[in-house]
Structure 1
Amino acid sequence: MADVPKPREERAVCLIGDVHGYISKLERLWRNLESALGTSSFETALIIFLGDYCDRGPDTSRVIDFLISLPSRYPRQSHVFLCGNHDFAFAAFIGALPQHVLPAGGFRQTWDEYLQNEEREGWYKGEGYEVMHVQARRWAGSIKEKLNAKKGIIYQGSIYDAGTTFKSYGVPHGHPDLMKAVPKEHKEFLADLVWVHEEDNVCIQTSEGLSYHKLIAVHAGLVTKQDVESQLKMLRYRDTSQPKVANLSGRKDVWDIPKALADEKIIEVSGHHGALHIDGLRLIIDESGGLKDLPLAAMILPSKRIIRNTDVLVDQH
């Protein structure tokens, strides 16, 4: 009698939401993912971090140390580190943006569209501001109105809540010494962040059973009413000449999956939105939004199981 072939074991894909400087949440979530998958499957998984590693939480520097350590600690895993809007602005301030796209007039050319917000947002005017990208100036500034009325919380230094990131490197908020305090390997990590990740043949559970699809991961998403291929071209190139990258910072305009992706049954996954949203092949995984008391969440494919740092899956000691 012929042997019955064993079912194929699909490679696990872990999609991890916005960490925002919370090392304790990240470490606990990491252990929970290993417990949920089992060591063998976890050690060969594709891990996609969806961006926003800095700001809000107290431990940006330690979070980046953790991320940098993963390839050597888990050499059989594959790791993808997407760039979030917070990471873009942090990188811009410390001079770690990709340099292959520089406007003719320098990054000063990015200010014009948002100059009406300069006074209210208290843009950075310290050392080196003349050549900074607009998002760097907003990130390191001191916002005048401290209450974030939308979230009911107090801004931590700037509109980006960057004060905690400065503090994690031992520098007062808005001080240019941060450029020297951030280690070289952190600058290189930020400079190397990708704006889009495309992965073929990702297995996912659907209403019709397991199926295989291309996956596209972008921090905020693809603009619904713009040509998809032109957006992907810009994201692959990492065009820093733009004052604001909608795919990293957008909200309503990037929430829904573009028709072209829906028609081709492509998975689109993002973080950014402070929500856990699953609508067919449109996956948004950012349950905490960087808020202290909300959980850091991840999704495991193909099962679409949600794992949180608050799950009791491992020994807490």
Structure 2
Amino acid sequence: MENPACKPNTHRIVCCIGDIHGHIDKLQSLWSNLETQIDPSHFQSALIIFLGDYCDRGPNTSKVLDFLISLPSKYPKQTHVFLCGNHDFAFAGFLGVLPEPADGSKFSDTWSGFEMNEAREGWYKEEGYERMHVQSRKWGGKKSGFTGKDLMKAVPPEHKKFLADLVWVHEEENVGIETAEGITEYKLIAVHAGLEKKRGVEEQLRYLKARDTSIPKVEALSGRENVWDMPEDLSNAATIVVSGHHGKLHSQGLRLIIDESGGREYNPMAAIVLPSMTIVRDTHVLK
């Protein structure tokens, strides 16, 4: 039987890949399965959207970043989008490669209103902490077995550049989804955690496109229940919202959450292939 992900169609293949969290073996297996399962000509020209969270939990963040950085040269006809996850945001801030707040404020201004939690949460307070975003201080404080200075020196320039260049949101027009009536076109918005249900979408897109680092907690990267559902502004819109982050595989209408692994060793890493809506996992045995 022909796999639906391989069927020829006039719409570009779009692959959305869930959280990786340092699991290089899972990522390599998933990529191999995507390459096997999708028609070669379609795969070579596909739009590949990585939904964020490349670091932490798994054993080899460095090799994950090397793999991702290599893709544009290995697959020059593909388009690769690398979204920023909350873990990547914190890591980038720890390394000092987040964009400076455009309003002229300092990263230390993001601590305001949260400082009563500093001792309990064990915020990072070694060299360079004065210039860190609150999320980076929280992230750094949870690490053990290294000094901040050692980590900053250990991360190579190409990894710092990758983290510095991550986008917070991606919009794509004319993305197809197969239905009983044929392929229907939608706009697609990809963002790591989701869009806030009760907040205006245009306002959210504006700060996400600007990568506004003056915000202490970026809900679209870090939120949970408040970004799970489709935003009210899009309840009747022909718009797909796809995210990772939540440690779940979930589909309700045009709201897609693709993070089956949650960064856990015992869970499969998953991707969704559009327009067929096929789920591909690292654990699938394909020939």
Normalised-by-shorter TM-score class: over 0.9
Structure 1 distance, partners of 2:172, 2:207, is 17
C-alpha deviation, 1:207, in angstroms: 5.0
2:191 corresponds to 1:218: yes
Q: CA offset at residue 47 of structure 1?
A: 0.1
Distance (Å, rounded) in 1 between the aligned partners of 2:147 and 2:268: 29
- Other-structure match for 1:81: 82
Partner of 2:153: 180
Deviation per CA, 1:263-290: give whole Å up to 9, x if none.
1120000000000000111000000111
Q: Is the 1:102–1:240 Cα contact (8 Å) retained in structure 2?
A: no
Quick one: which amino acid aligns to residue 135 of structure 1?
Answer: Q
Match in the other structure for 2:281: 308
Q: For residues 274 and 216 of structure 2, what CA distance do their matches in structure 1 show?
A: 35
Q: Is the 8 A contact 2:134 2:216 kept in 1?
A: yes
Deviations 1:195-251 (A, max 9, x none): 000000000123543100000001001100001101000000000011110000000
How far apart are the structure 1 equivalents of 2:266 and 2:56?
A: 15
The CA deviation at 1:38 is: 2.6
Q: 1:8 to 1:18 in 2, by over 3 A?
A: closer
1:184-199 aligned within 5 A: 184-199=157-172
Alpha-carbon distance between aligned partners in 2 of 1:116 and 1:132, rounded to the nearest angstrom: 17
| Aligned twin of 2:245 | 272
Q: For the residues of structure 2 that align with 1:103 and 1:89, how far apart are their CA atoms?
A: 20
Give the conservation status (yes or no) of the 8 Å contact 1:202–1:213: yes
8 Å contact 2:17–2:271 — kept in the other structure?
yes
Q: 1:295 aligns with which of 268, 272, 284?
A: 268
Q: Distance in 2 between matches of 1:74 and 1:136?
A: 33
CA distance in 1, matches of 2:35, 2:53: 22
What is the CA distance between 1:313 and its match in structure 2? 1.1
Corresponding residue for 1:131? 131
**Gap runs ≥5 in structure 2:** 1-7
Aligned length: 280
Query: Cα gap change, 1:206/1:113 in structure 2, threshold over 3 Å: closer, same or farther?
Result: farther
CA-CA distance at 1:9 after TM superposition: 3.0
Work out the CA distance in 1 between the residues paired with 2:17 and 2:181.
25
Secondary structure of the corresponding residue to residue 235 of structure 1:
helix
Q: What amino acid maps onto 1:256 in structure 2?
A: D
Q: 2:176 aligns with which of 203, 226, 234?
A: 203
Q: CA deviation at 1:65?
A: 0.6
- Counterpart residue identity of residue 107, structure 1: F
Change in Cα spacing, 1:140 to 1:256, as seen in structure 2 (3 Å) is: same
Q: Is contact 2:23–2:58 with CA below 8 Å preserved after alignment?
A: yes
C-alpha contact (below 8 Å) 2:101/2:107 kept by paired residues: no
Moved over 4 A (4+): none
What is the rounded CA distance, in whole Å, between the counterparts of 2:97 and 2:126 in structure 1? 18
CA contact (8 A) 1:103 1:109 kept: no
What's the offset of the Cα at 1:80? Answer: 0.2
Larger radius of gyration: 1
TM-score between both structures, scaled by the size of structure 1: 0.85
Q: 1:102 to 1:135 in 2, by over 3 A?
A: farther
RMSD: 1.4
Deviation for aligned residue 1:103: 4.3
